[in-house]
A and B are shown apart, each in its own frame.
Chain A
Amino acid sequence: MIVFLIYIAIFVASFLLVKLLVHRSTRDFTARKTVTFGDESAVRPNRVAGVVSVLTIFLLWGAFTGSKWVPGVLHAPGPFIGDATFTYTAEAEGVAPDDATVTIRVFPVGEEVTAPEVAPGEGWAKNDADTVGAWRSGLVRVDRNDDHGRDQGHRVVAVNGTPIAPGGEVMTAFGRVGMSPKGTLNFEPSKGLQMEPIWLPPPEAVLARLREIAREGYRDSTLWEHLGWSLFRVIAGFFFGALIGIPLGYAMGLSDWFRGWFDPIVEFMRPVPPLALIPLVIIWAGIGEPGKIILLFLAALWIMAIAARAGVSGVKISKVHAAYSLGASKWQIMRHVIIPNSLPDIFTGARVAMGVCWGTVVAAELVAAEKGAGMMIMVASKFQLTDIVIMGIILIGVIGFGIDILMRLAEKALVPWKGRG
């Protein structure tokens, strides 16, 4: 909630700041327009907004994980680290109530620490010392070293002078002191607003993990092998899907028999998410490579068939007529008119299919795989290695984005006439 409010505040503040500081450059045509609101063509992504948006995400990530990359003043309050003290008042049968101090050393998880040395102090209730990890909590058996134990009716009645009963709690400067139903004290140092690394590691930890895995690999395979296997599956599945799907789409666009025969199948399979096929594919083809490639083949097949069909149906009849009256044969019309005319639609389909395949391969690897980006994050999550999970998610996103960019570049180079007919 706090993070969300900060995010909105940064959004509004940076907007106002940029509008105030940057005068609109009057170089482009859009700036000459007096009416821009409602004109969709006048809306271009603001570069500054894009940069600030990405920086904000990293800033919030860093600030709420105590990252070294973010200056300390920007850090959200961290968990309490150091020696916490509180006093308790105990009663026992036959003696007057007595006070003693508890000193608890709160340490960052992963470090080895020993309990602080404390003098026992005066009276029958003795001073205690213990250790608790940050973000954790620990039971403090204060009665153990006291002269009058539980067998003599030892019970804690107040913490820092505030009365406490089983099930109750007292807030101290260092955290919360609660009491279990049986009367044992429970110390929970204050957590602050930062996330614990096992839930969300700081960005530098993710980068360090990336370096380590890129160098040493993970689960008997290098990082490049994991990503390479995922990519290989996508490309193989897409290749076979296009190999069968494009001719199928052409046949459906050119012959009424093919159209009638395959329309029910294609229209039925199209809305079935490929993920729903994973169980069946595993039953039929197992969890090895063939199963995954069959799954991706099925994911790409219908998309490519529909794209090719749309490409053929989209040819203007005047183009076909023109070719006929210029003396072209059926085969020449296929080769020189229908196929080039359908290429823009096929490229659009290929972009969609690659995106779907990439999503499907990760999901399939989450279910079962020995190598792959999805397998990497799935196994890491089982060991609560959140840094690997986040690293994997970022890599999967970057690769998916990269695939789309490459497809767009290929489209620009190969079908420059797209949308220009």
Chain B
Amino acid sequence: MTGLVLENLSMRFDLPNGTSVQALKDVSLDLAAGELLSVLGPSGCGKTTLLNIVAGFLAPTEGRVLLNGHAVTGPAAERGMVFQQGALFEWMDVRANVSFGPRMAGKRERDWGAHVDHLLDVVGLREFKEKAVYELSGGMQQRVALARCLANDPDVILMDEPLGALDALTREKMQSLVLKLWKETGKTIILITHSVEEALLLGERLLVMAPRPGRIHKEYRLPFADLGVGEDLRAVKKHPDFAATREEILGMIWNMEEEIMGRTEAAQ
């Protein structure tokens, strides 16, 4: 059986002062191979915790993660991760960054060279492959991070707000790139974002999470990611359902935030 299964994940952090925080409660999810899931929610709803558990950086207090039928016990090359920023290795040039995974696996350059150069072409960094990564702009750095992840050929790609630090224009271009890479490679992708628009554009499935305890609030199945593969993203945004869904989700998150504020005030 292929795909990613999350079974009743719960995560509780015990704080030094004796209290504890329930970051995730009873989260279950079934993700078929090749699905693109975006996760949205107010801060503190446990989205990053969820991603860290799937990546294997955190062990859940309850429940388990299954990938293609076997349980996840730690980080591995089958689950690649793209971070918001600052996760590139400055002491390597662009090509060395992208080929990091294959090189660590002990492969020879003749095995990975063509693939890495192809990926550099796809993300448009062919001329920059000898450059130091700190000489690149923020958008180019994130393209290196994407290529580095793909070079390792993972089954699942986990993205933790990969476009969060980019300006609006660069962000839009990168969104198209993510969709293109998703269609071309057929990878399973989980993308965490703060932007409702980005979640709608890039999520074949969209998960809205609620905080305290972190849980799944509502799930959508959306047509926009498939539309966006062939079309200009700005045209997709004009789709009548797009605005309606965006308003619905914004309202939902707004209510959650209000509730948190209310609870905090009541506690005081």
* Partner-B contacts on A (CB < 8 A): 316, 318-319, 321-329, 332, 336-337, 340-341, 343, 415-417, 420-421
Closest to A325 in B: B81
What are 15 inter-chain pairs, A to B, with CB distance below 8 A?
Answer: A318-B83, A319-B88, A321-B57, A321-B81, A321-B83, A322-B81, A324-B56, A324-B74, A325-B77, A325-B79, A326-B100, A332-B104, A340-B91, A341-B91, A421-B90
Q: Does B243 contact A (CB under 8 A)?
A: no
Q: Quick check: B87 and A319 within 8 Å, CB to CB?
A: yes
Bound-state Cα–Cα, A116 to B41, Å: 106
Closest to B148 in A: A326
Give every chain A residue within 8 A of B76 (Cβ-Cβ): 325, 327
* Partner-A contacts on B (CB < 8 A): 55-57, 74-77, 79-81, 83-84, 86-91, 100-101, 104-105, 132, 134, 145, 148-149, 152, 154, 158
Give every chain B residue within 8 A of A417 (Cβ-Cβ): 90-91, 132, 134
Q: Quick check: B86 and A316 within 8 Å, CB to CB?
A: yes
Closest to B85 in A: A318
Q: Quick check: B89 and A326 within 8 Å, CB to CB?
A: no
Most chain B CB within a 10 A radius of its CB, from A316, A328, A341? A328
Give every chain B residue within 8 A of A337 (Cβ-Cβ): 89
Report if A328-B104 is in contact (Cβ < 8 Å); known contacts: A318-B87, A319-B89, A421-B134: yes
Bound-state Cα–Cα, A336 to B99, Å: 13
Interchain residue pairs A-B with the least CB separation, the first 5 = A327-B77, A417-B90, A420-B134, A324-B75, A340-B91
Q: Quick check: A329 and B80 within 8 Å, CB to CB?
A: no
Bound-state Cα–Cα, A70 to B198, Å: 75
Report if A326-B83 is in contact (Cβ < 8 Å); known contacts: A321-B75, A420-B90: no
Q: Is the interface of A mostly helix, strand, loop or mixed?
A: helix
Besides A326-B80, A326-B101, A336-B89, 18 new A-B residue pairs in contact (Cβ under 8 A), listed by A number: A319-B88, A319-B89, A321-B55, A321-B87, A322-B145, A323-B104, A324-B57, A325-B75, A325-B76, A326-B104, A326-B149, A327-B76, A327-B77, A332-B104, A340-B91, A343-B91, A417-B132, A420-B134
Instruction: State how many angstroms separate the Cβ of B180 from the closest Cβ of chain A.
Output: 22
Number of A-B residue pairs at CB separation under 8 A: 77
Give every chain A residue within 8 A of B74 (Cβ-Cβ): 324
Give every chain B residue within 8 A of A340 (Cβ-Cβ): 89, 91
Q: Quick check: A319 and B57 within 8 Å, CB to CB?
A: no
Closest to A317 in B: B57
Closest to B57 in A: A321
Report if A325-B100 is in contact (Cβ < 8 Å); known contacts: A318-B83, A318-B86, A336-B89: no
Closest to A322 in B: B87
Give every chain B residue within 8 A of A325 (Cβ-Cβ): 55-56, 75-77, 79-81, 154, 158
Closest to B76 in A: A327
Closest to A333 in B: B104
Bound-state Cα–Cα, A398 to B90, Å: 35
Closest to A419 in B: B134
Instruction: State how many angstroms separate the Cβ of B81 from the closest Cβ of chain A.
Output: 4
Give every chain B residue within 8 A of A327 (Cβ-Cβ): 76-77, 101, 104-105, 152
Give every chain B residue within 8 A of A324 (Cβ-Cβ): 56-57, 74-75
Give every chain A residue within 8 A of B152 (Cβ-Cβ): 326-327
Q: Quick check: B86 and A323 within 8 Å, CB to CB?
A: no
Bound-state Cα–Cα, A343 to B89, Å: 13
Report if A316-B75 is in contact (Cβ < 8 Å); known contacts: A325-B55, A326-B101, A326-B152: no
Bound-state Cα–Cα, A287 to B55, Å: 59
Instruction: State how many angstroms separate the Cβ of A313 from the closest Cβ of chain B.
Output: 16
Give every chain A residue within 8 A of B101 (Cβ-Cβ): 326-327
Give every chain B residue within 8 A of A321 (Cβ-Cβ): 55, 57, 75, 81, 83, 87
Give every chain A residue within 8 A of B86 (Cβ-Cβ): 316, 318-319, 421
Closest to B52 in A: A321
Closest to B78 in A: A327
- Which of B83, B90, B134, B154 sits near A322, CB closer than 8 Å? B83
Bound-state Cα–Cα, A197 to B87, Å: 64
Give every chain A residue within 8 A of B132 (Cβ-Cβ): 416-417, 420
Bound-state Cα–Cα, A323 to B79, Å: 12
Instruction: State how many angstroms separate the Cβ of A315 from the closest Cβ of chain B.
Output: 11
